[in-house]
Structure 1
Amino acid sequence: MARLVFMGRLEDAAGAAELPVEPGPVEQVLARLDPALAVQLLGEKVRMALNGRLLTDVGGIVLAQGDELAFLPPVSGG
């Protein structure tokens, strides 16, 4: 299995801090999620990190066995 990890408000939207998923192309993995959650995860300000490395381009990413894909929402401060 691979894992999706949700940070900040995305954890609330997902209902859990992480979710085990079948490995495969990210597009197919996200297509199996609740559509409302998938839309939030693909928001233009949400960053993704694969195995701890920030991604600049998410096209063509294929999750392998044991991979972790983290979703990082924008951070607000004050």
Structure 2
Amino acid sequence: MTVLYFAWLRERIGVPRETVETSAATVEDLVAELRAREERYALVFSDLKAVRVALDQNLAQFGDSLHGVREVAFFPPMTGG
């Protein structure tokens, strides 16, 4: 699956996208796998209140299933003005 990172997440991880082989059932499981990879992922995903997620370009929750999902995007909360 393709994992996309936006804004400060992209800056801290160092890549805008990557292909991830995963057996994760939920977004939360995927985040746990990413955290275990190395310190930069652990830091980015240390406070999930500061991260939002979209599955195949639809806003989602961390407990949502990854079944059939092709793209996961992580980004900071959106603010308006």
CA RMSD of aligned residues (A): 2.4
**TM-aligned CA deviation for residue 61 of structure 1:** 2.0
Aligned length: 73
CA contact (8 A) 2:28 2:62 kept: no
**More relative contact order, 1 or 2 (CA 8 Å, 6+ apart):** 1
Q: Give me the TM-score of the superposition, normalised by structure 2.
A: 0.68
Unmatched 5+ residue regions in structure 1? none
User: Equivalent residue of 2:3, what SS?
Assistant: strand
Q: Give me the TM-score of the superposition, normalised by structure 1.
A: 0.70
List aligned pairs for 1:28-43, cutoff 5 A.
28-33=29-34, 34-40=41-47, 42=48
> Which shows bigger deviation, 29-38 or 16-25?
29-38
Which structure shows the bigger proportion of residues in helix conformation? 2
Unmatched 5+ residue regions in structure 2? 35-40
Which structure shows the bigger proportion of residues in strand conformation? 1
